[in-house]
Structure 1
Amino acid sequence: MVPGVTGMRPASAAVWRDAGSRAALRVALAAALGVASMVISPLGALAQTREVPQGRSEIQLSFSPIVKKVAPSVVNVYGARVERQQQNPLFEDPFFRRFFGGDFGVPRERVARSLGSGVIVDPSGVIVTNHHVIENMTEVKIALADKREFECDIVLRDPRTDLAVLRIRDKGVKLPAMELGDSDALEVGDLVLAIGNPFGVGQTVTQGIVSALARTQVGIGDYQFFIQTDAAINPGNSGGALVDMKGRLVGINSAIYSRSGGSVGIGFAIPAAMTRVVVESARNGGKMVKRPYFGGRLQAVTADIAESVGLERPTGALVAELRPGSPAAEAGLKRGDVILSVDGQAVDDPDAFGYRLATRPMGGQATLVVQRGPRKETLKIRLAPAPETPAREAVKLPQRTPFGGATAANLSPAVAEELSMDVAGSGVVISDIADGSSAAQVGLKKGDVILAVNGEKVATSRELDAALSRRARYWEITIKRGEEVFTAVLGG
């Protein structure tokens, strides 16, 4: 406080009685202005750093150079399937047909269609898109940004990753391909572009940032490890490109989180590392993607488990079960080990481990760092496909039974992997079911393990086929579905 000044009040209420008081006021104001100048001066310094743009190049910042580079590689994908629809059985009655006329009993055809996006990843005409875009489709066509159209063959379907690979039928045509980038190098906050065909309106580009990495529990495919972005993604963008600032493909746009069906700034893309595995399998002539087999069951690490093994926080994948003779058992893993990383890439949970292992190249070994009690261990795991032992011996089951339209196979680690089953025991499993078949109508599902038919145990696909070949008025079937075992009685 300055001598003579008892307090700060509005100027209109102040009363100064003499020259001494006025002098004191001048001192107080000078002091106040000095303090104010010290507070304001840093802001003034910041204001002085602002400059007028020195040319057009500093004003016209744009993503157009990237878009011009990558847009020709993004295509529209059109799928179609012809469905035969049987009319109501009433229309087959002769009296009804004579009275009403017309070809009521003739099955009618309906064309089911799908629309999405895709990305050219090889100049010879290899395109990657989402599996759900072409699921159940028999005819596929792509349209380029320059209006050219090509018929395509479906080279590979991989529902486990929700990816599919197409190839144009025209030989000798060179198409503009997009370079695959390193999705593992992405960081939260990186700028990205999403390119696709939302709502079928035509090619569209939106811009955003990487909002998060390694998102799990999205509910798409078996490998839950997604790039999250706030770039606007809408229906029709599925299969389109997520592109970094160097014009490289870092993800395939697959899903959005939305209550209304439109974009709310939460979109998910499959990382390019997984895309590369699927594309390479297709290039090598595979109809199915083969991935390294682990041979064990994992579970998430809770806070209590982390404390018991000496971890600072709940992270990693806990080994809960090992299968004899599997790569996991051969590597020296033990129950209770916590896997922390694969080839130097951190593992936060079992989903992250599944993704990291699935993106390792077949052959050779991968390095695992595990927490075992109070110390860390480094182990090597063999990168080999799941064995098909016993032999598959797939059998199409008799049509005149409730199993008509189903295919059964002997259960092996390879078959269990394909069907996303947790445990590969022994027995006979339903490996495929035709749409609209008797098996589908009675509620059988892929992955059901058939234990017995009419009280007779079945251990192989041949035994199941033989049991169903006998005539019966009814069928008593014992099924294992997941961890549940139940018996159903079906009419003959």
Structure 2
Amino acid sequence: MKSRKFWRSSTTHFVALVAGFAISFSSLRVLSSFAEPITDNSNLTPGASTPVAVAPSNLPQSFVATAIEQTGPAVVRIDTEKVVSRRLNPALEDPFFQDFFGNQLQQPQRQRMTGQGSGFIVDQEGIILTNAHVVDGADRVLVTLKDGRTFDGEVRGIDEVTDLAVVKITPQGDKLPVAPLGNSDQIRVGDWAIAVGNPVGLNNTVTLGIISTLSRTSAQVGIPDKRIDFIQTDAAINPGNSGGPLLNAQGEVIGINTAIRADAMGIGFAIPINKAKELQNILASGREVPHPYIGVQMVTITPELAKQNNQDPNSPFLIPETNGVLVVRVLPDTPAEAAGIRVGDVITKVNNQPITDGSQLQSLVEKVGIDKSLTVSLKRGDRDLDLTVKTAQLANQ
């Protein structure tokens, strides 16, 4: 299978989806407009050669402008710094490059790396929601408001599995603008979607599109290590938009802009705001977000796919020809290994509930919780087995 590339929408973070694919941007000029400006020659001054454009007074105000007036001031820019150490030459580890006393002749070089993303304020106490990949590993976080005020930010909590993070700033007397949060369970395909953020360092940028689809799984998006059903939108999202809000037509936050596809245009993804609401207090308090897991890597299998595999003389093993989830790897020191699950097993039921794809299994395990016993029904060759698996907490990477 060819390797693929996937970009996350911060200026220093990306995940690949199509190898060798690159997009170059050139400056664009607007060559013409759809309508000529309305002019009123009575506004001409003596000797003037250019008419003065007068906006029609009967045009309704844009709903986008109204939405941005409400929420835009709460959108912030997040700049990060991280100091990393590296040696200029790995050969310096060799004793030959040490002095008489055994000291290295050259010390590791310290390099300062910077990054930039977006976020938005959700309460007067200075709580900011953003993406985990925007602030992960940062030694310093600087938050800049639209009105120019700057604050040092404290990373309160990070959850890599959902790519969510909470940053805290301390207000200095003045009130902070707060973004109103909507309900992502109520949005529909075709609804307006407004993306706000700081793409490629261009502060306070607004783009407009629609909700393209809902419940796009992380596997479909191309980042299977996440546990999110994403909102897909065609509102333009670019590096630097990460952590910024996706708004509805009323200016309410319905999602957190997170990622874009590098092999396409007009395909962006946002974390539903209801998921962020669910985890906000946990992250703000610095607690670990619960993520139960059993420890298998899997792919969806059907009788047709299994038959194709079994007819291939180079296949590493035969697969039971049934619907379910094929175990392609059992991670060491995990509940799955302890329970006796093996590579080549096909999981068909969990707690007597039929399993037909990997996302269904992952969702079921997530809902069960940590330290809970599951009855996993599977096919191994021509045998049917029931194994008991006890879920555990998935550690952050």
Pairwise same-fold verdict (TM > 0.5): yes
The TM-score bracket by the shorter chain reads 0.5 to 0.7
CA contact (8 A) 1:125 1:174 kept: no
Note closer, same or farther for the CA distance 1:109–1:215 as it changes in structure 2 (3 Å cut).
same
Q: Which residue in 2 is equivalent to 1:399?
A: none
CA contact (8 A) 1:223 1:351 kept: no
Offset at residue 222 of structure 1 (A): 2.2
Offset at residue 188 of structure 1 (A): 0.7
CA contact (8 A) 2:116 2:134 kept: yes
Q: Which residue in 1 is equivalent to 2:371?
A: 387
Counterpart secondary structure, 1:63: helix
Q: Which residue in 2 is equivalent to 1:233?
A: 237
Note closer, same or farther for the CA distance 1:320–1:92 as it changes in structure 2 (3 Å cut).
closer
Counterpart secondary structure, 2:80: strand
Q: Which residue in 2 is equivalent to 1:134?
A: 135
Q: State the Cα RMSD in Å.
A: 3.9
Q: Provide the TM-score with structure 2 as the length reference.
A: 0.60
Selected match of 1:338 from 348, 351, 354: 354
Q: Which residue in 2 is equivalent to 1:328?
A: none
Offset at residue 177 of structure 1 (A): 1.7
CA contact (8 A) 2:301 2:325 kept: no
Selected match of 1:246 from 247, 250, 270: 250
Q: Give the distance between the partners of 1:269 and 1:294, measured in 2 at CA.
A: 27
- Aligned partner letter, 1:338: P
Q: Which residue in 2 is equivalent to 1:256?
A: 260
Q: How does 1:367-446 map to 2 (within 5 A)?
A: 385-387=369-371, 413-415=391-393, 417-418=394-395
CA contact (8 A) 1:157 1:287 kept: no
Q: Which residue in 2 is equivalent to 1:212?
A: 213
Note closer, same or farther for the CA distance 1:176–1:354 as it changes in structure 2 (3 Å cut).
farther
Offset at residue 172 of structure 1 (A): 5.8
Counterpart secondary structure, 1:122: coil
Q: Which residue in 2 is equivalent to 1:274?
A: 275
**Structure 2 unmatched runs, 5+:** 1-55, 306-322, 328-334, 337-348, 374-388
> Would you tell me which structure has more helix in proportion to its own residues?
1
- Structure number with greater Rg is 1
Q: Give the distance between the partners of 2:221 and 2:276, measured in 1 at CA.
A: 18
Offset at residue 234 of structure 1 (A): 0.6
Offset at residue 354 of structure 1 (A): 4.6
CA contact (8 A) 2:118 2:244 kept: yes
Q: Give the distance between the partners of 1:349 and 1:224, measured in 2 at CA.
A: 16
CA contact (8 A) 2:77 2:144 kept: yes
Q: Give the distance between the partners of 1:247 and 1:164, measured in 2 at CA.
A: 22
Q: How does 1:87-98 map to 2 (within 5 A)?
A: 87-88=88-89, 89=92
Whether 1:223 and 2:207 are equivalent positions in the alignment is no
Q: Which residue in 2 is equivalent to 1:182?
A: 183
**Structure 1 unmatched runs, 5+:** 1-54, 96-102, 306-316, 324-332, 340-347, 359-382, 390-410, 420-431, 433-492
Q: Give the distance between the partners of 2:120 and 2:357, measured in 1 at CA.
A: 30
- For each residue in 1:315-353, what CA deviation from the matched residue of structure 2 results, as whole angstroms up to 9, or x when unmatched? xx9699999xxxxxxxxx8665337xxxxxxxx955367
Q: Which residue in 2 is equivalent to 1:16?
A: none
- Aligned partner letter, 1:337: Q
Offset at residue 178 of structure 1 (A): 1.3
CA contact (8 A) 2:235 2:266 kept: yes
Q: Give the distance between the partners of 2:187 and 2:360, measured in 1 at CA.
A: 16
- Aligned partner letter, 1:219: G
Offset at residue 185 of structure 1 (A): 1.0
Q: Give the distance between the partners of 2:251 and 2:76, measured in 1 at CA.
A: 16
Note closer, same or farther for the CA distance 1:82–1:286 as it changes in structure 2 (3 Å cut).
closer
Q: Give the distance between the partners of 1:180 and 1:269, measured in 2 at CA.
A: 14
CA contact (8 A) 1:124 1:172 kept: no
**What is the number of residues matched between the two proteins?**
282
Q: Which residue in 1 is equivalent to 2:344?
A: none
- Share of identical aligned residues, percent? 36
Q: How does 1:71-82 map to 2 (within 5 A)?
A: 71-82=72-83
Q: Give the distance between the partners of 1:292 and 1:122, measured in 2 at CA.
A: 30
Offset at residue 179 of structure 1 (A): 2.0
Q: Give the distance between the partners of 1:277 and 1:357, measured in 2 at CA.
A: 18
Note closer, same or farther for the CA distance 1:192–1:289 as it changes in structure 2 (3 Å cut).
same
Counterpart secondary structure, 1:223: coil
CA contact (8 A) 2:292 2:392 kept: no
Counterpart secondary structure, 2:156: strand
CA contact (8 A) 2:235 2:268 kept: yes
Offset at residue 62 of structure 1 (A): 4.5
Q: Give the distance between the partners of 2:302 and 2:247, measured in 1 at CA.
A: 36
Offset at residue 413 of structure 1 (A): 3.3
Offset at residue 223 of structure 1 (A): 1.4
Q: Give the distance between the partners of 1:278 and 1:171, measured in 2 at CA.
A: 26
- For each residue in 1:40-99, what CA deviation from the matched residue of structure 2 results, as whole angstroms up to 9, or x when unmatched? xxxxxxxxxxxxxxx73445545111111111111111111112333442895559xxxx
Offset at residue 412 of structure 1 (A): 7.5
Q: Give the distance between the partners of 2:150 and 2:365, measured in 1 at CA.
A: 38
- Aligned partner letter, 2:371: P
Note closer, same or farther for the CA distance 1:214–1:104 as it changes in structure 2 (3 Å cut).
same
Q: Provide the TM-score with structure 1 as the length reference.
A: 0.50
Q: Give the distance between the partners of 2:76 and 2:275, measured in 1 at CA.
A: 20
Offset at residue 105 of structure 1 (A): 2.1
Structure having greater relative contact order (Cα 8 Å, sep ≥ 6): 2
- Aligned partner letter, 1:288: E
Q: Which residue in 2 is equivalent to 1:351?
A: 359
- For each residue in 1:254-290, what CA deviation from the matched residue of structure 2 results, as whole angstroms up to 9, or x when unmatched? 111123xxx711101111121112212124x242112
Offset at residue 300 of structure 1 (A): 5.1
- Aligned partner letter, 2:83: V
Counterpart secondary structure, 1:141: strand
- Aligned partner letter, 1:196: G
Q: Give the distance between the partners of 1:67 and 1:356, measured in 2 at CA.
A: 38
Counterpart secondary structure, 2:359: helix
CA contact (8 A) 1:226 1:268 kept: yes
Offset at residue 388 of structure 1 (A): 9.6
CA contact (8 A) 2:117 2:198 kept: yes
Q: Give the distance between the partners of 1:412 and 1:201, measured in 2 at CA.
A: 49
Q: Which residue in 1 is equivalent to 2:46?
A: none
Q: Which residue in 2 is equivalent to 1:290?
A: 290
Q: Give the distance between the partners of 2:278 and 2:189, measured in 1 at CA.
A: 24
